[in-house]
């Protein structure tokens, strides 16, 4: 496993992206961080050993999933809701489960 990126570091990197009224998925947040060339992107890729998506039990977790884990756990600065994603795709991404966390500033 690559170098560890803490949940606090991920949350801090995501806060400026979440500074809007809309809810965003972890995939949208990941895309925006990449567009901004945010330094955490390279660190997340390294921490995930270059794996971008983990779709099956026991499969590696990618950067978007790490973002969802960080934002979904223990931050009073982020509001989390869940939407039904049975028929949703965002660009080339399609959530693996039936529910997807969506995030915005609390």
pLDDT digits (tens, 9 = 90+) for 41-77: 999 988 887 555 545 545 567 899 899 999 988 678 8
Q: Is residue 95 part of a domain?
A: yes
Given pLDDT bands bounded at 50, 70 and 90, which one contains residue 89? confident
Q: Is residue 99 part of a domain?
A: yes
Tell me which residue range forms the domain holding 96: 7-105
Q: Is residue 97 part of a domain?
A: yes
Domain count, the chain: 1
Q: To which H or E segment does residue 80 belong? A: strand 78-84
Q: Is residue 37 part of a domain?
A: yes
Residue 84 CA to its chain's centroid (Å): 17
Q: Is residue 1 part of a domain?
A: no
């Amino acid at each position: 496993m690559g170098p560890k990126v803490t949940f606090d570091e991920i949350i801090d990197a995501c806060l400026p992206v979440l500074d809007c009224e809309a809810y965003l998925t972890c995939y949208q947040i990941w895309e925006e961080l990449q567009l901004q060339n945010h330094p955490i992107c390279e660190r997340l890729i390294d921490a995930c050993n270059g794996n971008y998506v983990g779709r099956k039990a026991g499969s590696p977790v990618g950067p978007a999933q790490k973002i969802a884990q960080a934002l979904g756990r223990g931050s009073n600065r982020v509001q989390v809701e869940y939407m039904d994603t049975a028929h949703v795709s965002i660009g080339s991404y399609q959530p693996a489960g039936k529910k997807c966390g969506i995030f915005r500033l609390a």
